[in-house]
Amino acid sequence: MADKKKLVMIGNGMAGVRALEHLLKLAPDLYEITIFGAEPYPNYNRIMLSSVLAGGTELKDIVINDWDWYSENRIALHVGHTVSRIDTEARMVYSDQGAEAVYDTLIMATGSRPFMLPLPGADKEGVIGFRDIADCETMFEASRSYKNAVVIGGGLLGLEAARGLLNLGMNVSVVHISPNLMNRQLDEPASKMLQKELEAQGMKFLLRKQSELIYGKKRVKGLRFTDGSEVEADLIVMAVGIKPNVSLAKSAGLAVGRGIVVNDYMETNVPNVYAVGECAEHRGIAYGLVAPLYDQGAVLAKRLAGVDTAGYEGSMTSTKLKVSGVDVFSAGQYEETPGTRALRYQDELEGVYKKIVIENDRLVGAVLFGDTSDGASLFSIMKKGESIKGKEKELLLGFAPGGAAASPASRLESMADDEIVCGCNGVSKGAIKDAIETKGCATVGEIKACNKATGSCGGCKPLVEGLLSLYAGERAGEAVKEGICGCTSLDRDEIVAGLRRLEPATIKEAMLALDWKQPEGCTKCRPSLNYYMGMLWPERYKDEKESRFTNERYHANIQKDGTYSVVPRIYGGVTTPSELKKIAEVAEKYDVPLVKFTGGQRLDLFGVKKEDLPGMWEDLDMPSGHAYGKMLRTVKTCVGNTFCRFGTQDAIGMGIRLEKEFERMNAPAKVKFAVSGCPRNCAEATIKDYGIVAIDGGWELHVGGNGGVHVRATDLLCVVKTEDEVVEWGGAFLQYYRENATWGERTSVWVERVGLDAIKAALDDPAERKALHGRMKTALSYIKDPWKEIIEDKELRKNFEALAVPAPLN
């Protein structure tokens, strides 16, 4: 790690993280990377917030790079941290939460913020922008208590916010200063068609209105206009534009215009400081669309990786989105000016409008409404600047006058392979064709997993669907055989069989041997392969820590604010005064804000900083309770016959024995035990993966329970007489589960899938039962206490300590 350059990025948004994705592919070992993000979330697709608001998408579905991506790439991520100061002389970055980082290279990716009209009353409760997840949550909350919403701004963002608020059941009025909606992308005919469609959906429009003030007491009650008219409002959303976030850059001495001024290689006026995305101003332009920002990121990544590259020369922009269920495309110069001419086609019945603008026999602009299938080809012709003389009407209509209309398939087939279909992610028609014909993709989802087409704004989805139909034929969209993820069509049994046959030594070898579509895999298949290989060959397979989830690598549970919770193991829920005292002293030493008793009879220490984890585990000197892993979590017990007058067996002793026996066990999913000392079942053993209930002269063994979202009562496996039998049957059952369940499958689901009779048949034979238990003990013998690695692994510990103590300058 010492020879790596230190790269710090301020901002955790789409443009900056996309640049890092490129950089990690080009030079994966060149930089030690730290990211500061003001929001308490991993990198997510801001473009899809409107889909979340409209109800078609959940917040988790718009995450581009989850927590594990940062962990796998050894990126130190500070979420919920706003950088407050940059010292460009000392090359230091400081956050409002007290974090510091030294850099050799600094990337400013601070993005933009919504422009809030400086109206009297704009600071009232219920007046917001529409820029991030917090804004969406505010709208969700408002819709539960209030009815009237006003959106200021009739552009693309405002209309998407209005559509979402309609879906939330609010009465929505859109205020726009222009007489035409989306006046920066659409001409008057297209705008009027859009307005008519949206009015039919329930939106109201107040056009040619200039806002004067927002009235109300603590919370907004309405909006008054300069003409004296008013509209009631319980919620006002301002969607009138964005402003690059430049205040931090300005205070650090960077040249600032509208945005942070950069050259063609995204370099600022300060050495080793770069800017990318909506905060950057290139040749006088600050872009707000994702495609140009991704182009900037690609150039920056090559520059930082030392790869020769042409500079960024600016972008011709296009807008192709589905606005409230209506397809809209706009690119280039959409209004006629002296020296240009326009051709139009309008069909009110079908709701289709097309317009192209021509200058010197070259296509310089286009507007499409209702039918945007030709958008990509028109945009490609615009960017190439080729002559269209004699082809004007064909381009407008999609076929030569007097001839038959070209079918959608023939139009797609005539597209050049290098034409960009997904502008957001730079995916060409040829790349999509290759994904379908060479890599076997048969659905839009598979193509997205392969090359990210449709993965951002989604505007290219109709084109991708057309190419699927063209090149996949009968395979297109069919219920293809589902693999464990989009990287492979193999299911669990086929993967395990292939691993047994080929015996690869590493995950990379396994993916190569099993013809993985994505050579690096993903956060679903890598952990599953890691588990399957460890289950098959515990004696020789080396666990790949980089293929484990963040929580499992750090031995703590990440929380929504970026801090962690630590759960030491308390066997059977039984502790001592000295152990409690030690936990309390550690909690005080590390300023733990919350200590909570869990439902599994343990103590959970919340709010722990990542850099404090090694020291905390060392000071606790207790095994981890594995509250984060696909392992044995807890063994809940009642006091049994030790104290209770109803107890028939020693539930505490049995619980502690089971927990110590299986505490290091890796499993397909989390596993929970419970031991009740009598049929009163105070430990709730009948909703656990393995539940033991004491009866007179023996123990009932229950399996397959779940007390979570999908509650399932256990099935009675058998009745045994001795504690040794409880352990043996438990080991055999868990090993059979380990060897046959799909990674991620809880015992409750697995038992229902394979059937209790099949499980009993496998365990009834004493010889087979002993063999299964023997394989479990063998596996456990090769697993060291994994929580100790955070203390003993010097490189891992250095990574944590670097978060708290700035490293010296090289």
What number of CA atoms fall less than 13 Å from residue 406's CA on the CB side?
A: 19
Could you report the per-residue pLDDT of 576-627, keeping only the tens digit for each? Answer: 999 999 999 999 999 999 999 988 899 999 999 888 888 899 899 998 888 8
CB count within 10 Å of CB 716 equals 13
Percentage of the chain surpassing pLDDT 70?
92
Could you report the per-residue pLDDT of 615-628, keeping only the tens digit for each? Answer: 899 899 998 888 88
Choice among 148-157, 207-216, 659-668, 785-794 with the minimum mean pLDDT = 785-794
Superfamily of domain 548-629: Sulfite Reductase Hemoprotein;Domain 2 (3.90.480.10)
Instruction: Give yes or no for a contact between 668 and 529, defined as CB atoms under 8 angstroms apart.
Output: no
pLDDT at 379: 85
Please determine, for residue 694, whether its predicted confidence score (pLDDT) is greater than 70.
yes
Residue 790 CA to residue 808 CA, distance in Å, equals 23
pLDDT at 421: 82
Q: Which CATH number fits domain 127-240: 3.30.43.10, 3.30.2290.10, 3.50.50.60, 3.40.50.300?
A: 3.50.50.60
Residue 457 CA to residue 182 CA, distance in Å, equals 17
pLDDT band at 546 (very low <50, low <70, confident <90, very high): confident
Choice among 92-106, 107-121, 475-489, 587-601 with the minimum mean pLDDT = 475-489
φ and ψ at 677, to 5 degrees?
-80, -5
Please tell me whether 422 is known to bind a ligand. no
**Do the domains 127-240 and 5-112+244-305 match in fold?**
yes
pLDDT at 808: 30
pLDDT at 622: 92
Please tell me whether 682 is known to bind a ligand. yes
Choice among 67-81, 319-333, 346-360, 619-633 with the minimum mean pLDDT = 319-333
| Average pLDDT value for the chain | 89
Region of 183 (left: φ > 0; alpha: ψ -120 to 50; beta: rest) is alpha
pLDDT band at 213 (very low <50, low <70, confident <90, very high): very high
Instruction: Give yes or no for a contact between 609 and 549, defined as CB atoms under 8 angstroms apart.
Output: no
Please tell me whether 638 is known to bind a ligand. yes
- CA-nearest of 95, 131, 164 to 14 is 131
Residue 420 CA to residue 428 CA, distance in Å, equals 4
Placement of tokens 């955790």 in the chain = 12
Residues in CB range of 657: below 8 A, 6 or more apart: 723, 727
φ and ψ at 176, to 5 degrees?
-145, 135
Please tell me whether 279 is known to bind a ligand. no
List the chain domain ranges: 5-112+244-305, 127-240, 548-629, 633-785
Residue 320 CA to residue 156 CA, distance in Å, equals 11
Residues in CB range of 21: below 8 A, 6 or more apart: 65, 301
Q: Report the chain's terminal Cα–Cα distance, integer Å.
A: 12
Residue 244 CA to residue 288 CA, distance in Å, equals 9
- CA-nearest of 430, 426, 345 to 379 is 426
- H or E stretch including 507? helix 507-513
Question: Regarding the domain delimited by 633-785, which CATH topology (the fold level of the hierarchy) does it fall under?
Answer: Sulfite Reductase Hemoprotein; domain 1 (3.30.413)
Q: What ranges make up the beta strands (E) of 490-610?
A: 557-558, 564-566, 594-597, 603-608
Please determine, for residue 800, whether its predicted confidence score (pLDDT) is greater than 70.
no
- CA-nearest of 730, 732, 754, 731 to 741 is 754
pLDDT at 316: 78
pLDDT band at 456 (very low <50, low <70, confident <90, very high): low
pTM for the whole structure: 0.65
Report in angstroms the alpha-carbon separations of 406 from 312, 412, 558, 771. 37, 10, 55, 68
Q: Mind giving me the DSSP string for 116-181?
A: PP--TTTTSBTEEESSSHHHHHHHHHHHHH--EEEEE--SHHHHHHHHHHHHTT-EEEEEESSSST
pLDDT at 266: 98
Report in angstroms the alpha-carbon separations of 752 from 91, 273, 378, 560, 745. 58, 57, 55, 33, 11
Percentage of the chain surpassing pLDDT 90?
62
Residue 16 CA to residue 151 CA, distance in Å, equals 30
Report in angstroms the alpha-carbon separations of 490 from 450, 472, 511. 16, 20, 11
- CA-nearest of 111, 76, 29, 19 to 303 is 19
Q: What is the CATH number of domain 5-112+244-305?
A: 3.50.50.60
pLDDT band at 338 (very low <50, low <70, confident <90, very high): very high
> 723-740 and 747-754 helices cross at what angle (nearest 10)?
80
Instruction: Give yes or no for a contact between 509 and 542, defined as CB atoms under 8 angstroms apart.
Output: no
Please determine, for residue 323, whether its predicted confidence score (pLDDT) is greater than 70.
no
Residue 628 CA to residue 636 CA, distance in Å, equals 17
Could you report the per-residue pLDDT of 411-449, keeping only the tens digit for each? Answer: 677 777 877 788 767 788 888 998 888 888 888 888 887
Placement of tokens 């296509």 in the chain = 363
φ and ψ at 317, to 5 degrees?
-105, 155
How large is the average pLDDT for residues 669-685? 95
pLDDT at 479: 44
pLDDT at 419: 75
